[in-house]
Every structure is written in C-alpha cells, then in structure tokens.
C-alpha cells in the first residue's frame, strides 16, 4: 500500500517555489508496550495527577501550565497566551543556504521525511534534485509547522529529495565534553586493527541484513505466555576477558577468517606472544588479512 502524505509545503529559494508533499520516511515497527494492572484482579490502572502540596487529585479542567523561573516559583500561562507564542504555520520550506552535504554531522539528524512534487512542481523538483546531486550540496532551510519552527536539511537521494529535521546547536552536546582518557597505540596494533576492519568490511550499507532480535524474542515469549507456558530467563553467557590488546586483535582476525583462535588461559586471556617475534608476526597477520580481503 502506497504511503499517504502527512502534509504539504512549498520549497522556496530566490524566486523559485516548488510545491511538495511530505511523506514519513520511517515506518518503525509497533513498539511492544505493557500495561500496568492491579495485581489483585488484573484490571487496568488509570493515571491521576496529584497535588504535591495537599495530596488532592486534580481534574484536568483545574490544571494550568507554568514555567519555573526560580526554584519552586512559577509563572502561569493561559491557553490563549500559549497559542500566541506558537509559530505561525506558513508551510514554507525557506532555503537559507546550500552547504556541502558531507559537512553536516549526522549527530544533528532528527526525524526524516520524503518529499515528492505536488501538482505543477515536477520539473522544478527534478531540476533541484539533479543540481544538488551534481554539486554535492544540501540545503539548510527553516520550516514552520505545528506551532514550531524547525531547522531542516534537504538532501538529494537517487533523484529525489529527503527532508531531514535537524537539532539546533544548543540541543547537541559537544563531543569535547565527554571525558576520554588519552592512550598511545603502537603501529603494529594499528595495522592489526586495519586488517580486522578489512576482514569484516562490506561492499555497502545493507540494512536488510539486520533485525530487532529483542523484539522478535519478546513477541515469541508473549505468544508462549498466552498459551500458558512459563518464561524463564536464559543463563548468561560466560564472558572472556582478554587483557592483551594484540592478542584480542589477532583472535578477532582469526575468528573473522573462521580459523580457531589461540587456546585461552585459565583467566580467559590468550597467552602473551613472544616479544621477539611479536612485530614480525603482526605484520604477517596483517598482510595475510589484506590478501584474503582482496580475494
């Protein structure tokens, strides 16, 4: 069944206007949700809002929205005042600038949409898609809808256009804030890591190879539970703790080749390599891996 558009808009840049329709680019599987029940009789529970001061249950018609400007101090807004704060939905996708598509960090990516030309917009739509694809550019634009103003990225894909809703700069945490301990790596370790990457490399992105195994397992367990079967948690698999990085890389390469790894010690770590033969063997392993990858 063909997807239905969820909205419409007009791409605008310069004096050019392109009417488009918006389609959801994702179709996530239905999330598995569990309801809260009363253990005594199995009835569903209802959520209630309780006043933190006097413990009274507050009905919805007595609720107001407020903003905490100081600790435990709020300024309240009426529904009319909140409506006045909303961005007017112009449905115009106003392009501000074209930027190199490769320069946009995917960490900014939020919700994606497919764009299709609306009536009378097919030629201009196609022209924009081809021009952006050949130039390697994407378009940053502003889009006002549902009372908000969104920053979006329009990018070409296979002759079509995708609109990616973006996070604003203040919504993205700077990677420099994340503590990362500095560590020195040796060249032979880098070569082994490169060999491992080559061993497990693919010719492209194939998302169809992957599925949500947890969701499938949960649905199967629910089906068994409906039939009256008991559900038991599987025993945790033993985890091997490989201490030496070189041994871990070599074992990973052997596993990628389908070859048996080195026998592990009682602690779970492979025996330490001979220091005199380590670098020479590392180069040999990396070379063999690269030759295997080329075949």
Predicted local distance difference test score (pLDDT) of residue 280:
42
Give the model's confidence band at 288: pLDDT under 50 very low, under 70 low, under 90 confident, else very high. Answer: very low
DSSP 234: P
- Count CA atoms closer than 13 A to 56's CA, side-chain side: 7
Asked if 106 and 164 sit in the same domain, the reply is: yes
Asked if 12 and 138 sit in the same domain, the reply is: yes
Predicted local distance difference test score (pLDDT) of residue 241:
64
Please name which of 170, 169, 193, 180 lies closest in space to residue 253, comparing C-alpha atoms.
193
Asked if 95 and 165 sit in the same domain, the reply is: yes
Asked if 165 and 193 sit in the same domain, the reply is: no
What CATH number does the domain containing 148 carry? 2.40.290.10
Contact status, residue 191 vs residue 288, Cβ threshold 8 Å = no
Q: pLDDT tens-digit profile of 179-189?
A: 988 888 889 88
Asked if 150 and 246 sit in the same domain, the reply is: no
Domain count, the chain: 2
| Inside any domain, residue 264 | yes
Number of helical (H) and strand (E) elements in the chain, helices listed first = 6, 9
Contact status, residue 13 vs residue 137, Cβ threshold 8 Å = no
Classify strands 137-145 and 148-157 as parallel, antiparallel or unpaired: antiparallel
- Nearest-angstrom CA–CA distance, 23 and 282: 51
| Inside any domain, residue 69 | no
Q: pLDDT tens-digit profile of 238-270?
A: 766 656 777 777 788 887 777 544 444 333 334
Asked if 166 and 248 sit in the same domain, the reply is: no
Asked if 112 and 188 sit in the same domain, the reply is: no
> Which one of 94-108, 227-241, 261-275 scores highest in mean pLDDT?
94-108
Please name which of 29, 11, 206 lies closest in space to residue 96, comparing C-alpha atoms.
11
| Inside any domain, residue 147 | yes
Residues 6+ apart with CB under 8 A from 145: 7, 9, 89, 91
- Nearest-angstrom CA–CA distance, 241 and 282: 21
| Inside any domain, residue 63 | no
Asked if 12 and 102 sit in the same domain, the reply is: yes
Please name which of 184, 186, 195, 185 lies closest in space to residue 284, comparing C-alpha atoms.
195
| Inside any domain, residue 113 | yes
What average pLDDT score do residues 44-57 get? 91
- Which residues, listed in sequence order, are joined to residue 94 by a DSSP beta bridge? 12, 142
Asked if 251 and 194 sit in the same domain, the reply is: yes
Identify which has the larger pLDDT, 231 or 294: 231
| Inside any domain, residue 35 | no
Q: How would you classify residue 131: left for phi > 0, otherwise alpha for psi between -120 and 50, otherwise beta?
A: alpha
Query: Mean pLDDT in the chain?
Result: 82
- Nearest-angstrom CA–CA distance, 5 and 24: 8
| Inside any domain, residue 157 | yes
The predicted model scores a pTM of 0.66
Asked if 20 and 139 sit in the same domain, the reply is: yes
Asked if 120 and 165 sit in the same domain, the reply is: yes
- Would you say how long the chain is, in residues? 295
Q: pLDDT tens-digit profile of 105-161?
A: 999 999 999 999 999 999 999 999 999 999 999 999 999 887 788 999 999 999 999
| Inside any domain, residue 36 | no
Please name which of 243, 265, 242, 266 lies closest in space to residue 255, comparing C-alpha atoms.
242
Asked if 160 and 192 sit in the same domain, the reply is: no
Structural domain boundaries, residue 141: 7-26+86-171
Q: Is the pLDDT of residue 190 over 80?
A: yes
């Amino acid at each position: 069944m063909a997807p239905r558009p969820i909205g419409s808009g007009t791409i605008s840049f310069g004096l050019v206007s392109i009417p488009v329709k918006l389609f959801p680019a994702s179709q996530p599987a239905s999330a598995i949700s569990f309801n809260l029940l009363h253990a005594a009789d199995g009835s569903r529970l209802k959520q209630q809002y309780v006043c933190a001061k006097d413990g009274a249950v507050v009905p919805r018609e007595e609720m107001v929205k407020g903003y905490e400007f100081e600790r435990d101090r709020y300024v309240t807004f009426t529904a009319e005042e909140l409506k006045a704060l909303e961005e007017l939905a112009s449905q115009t996708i106003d392009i501000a600038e074209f930027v190199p598509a490769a320069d946009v960090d995917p960490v900014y990516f939020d919700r994606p949409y497919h764009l299709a030309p609306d009536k009378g917009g097919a030629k201009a739509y196609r022209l924009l898609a081809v021009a952006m694809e050949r130039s390697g550019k994407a378009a940053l634009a502003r889009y006002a809808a549902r009372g908000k103003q969104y920053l979006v990225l329009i990018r070409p894909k296979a002759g079509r256009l995708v609109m990616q809703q973006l996070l604003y700069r203040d919504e993205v945490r700077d990677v420099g804030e994340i503590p990362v301990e500095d560590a020195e790596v040796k060249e032979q370790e880098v070569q082994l890591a490169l060999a491992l990457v080559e061993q497990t490399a693919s010719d492209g992105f194939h998302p169809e190879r992957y599925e949500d195994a947890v969701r499938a397992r949960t649905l199967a367990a629910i089906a068994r539970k409906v039939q009256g079967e008991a559900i038991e948690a599987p025993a945790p698999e033993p985890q091997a703790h490989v201490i030496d990085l070189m041994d871990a890389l070599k074992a990973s390469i052997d596993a990628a080749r389908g070859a048996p790894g080195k026998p592990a010690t009682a602690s779970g770590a492979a025996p330490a390599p001979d220091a005199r033969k380590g670098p020479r063997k590392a180069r040999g392993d990396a070379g063999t891996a690269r030759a295997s990858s080329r075949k």
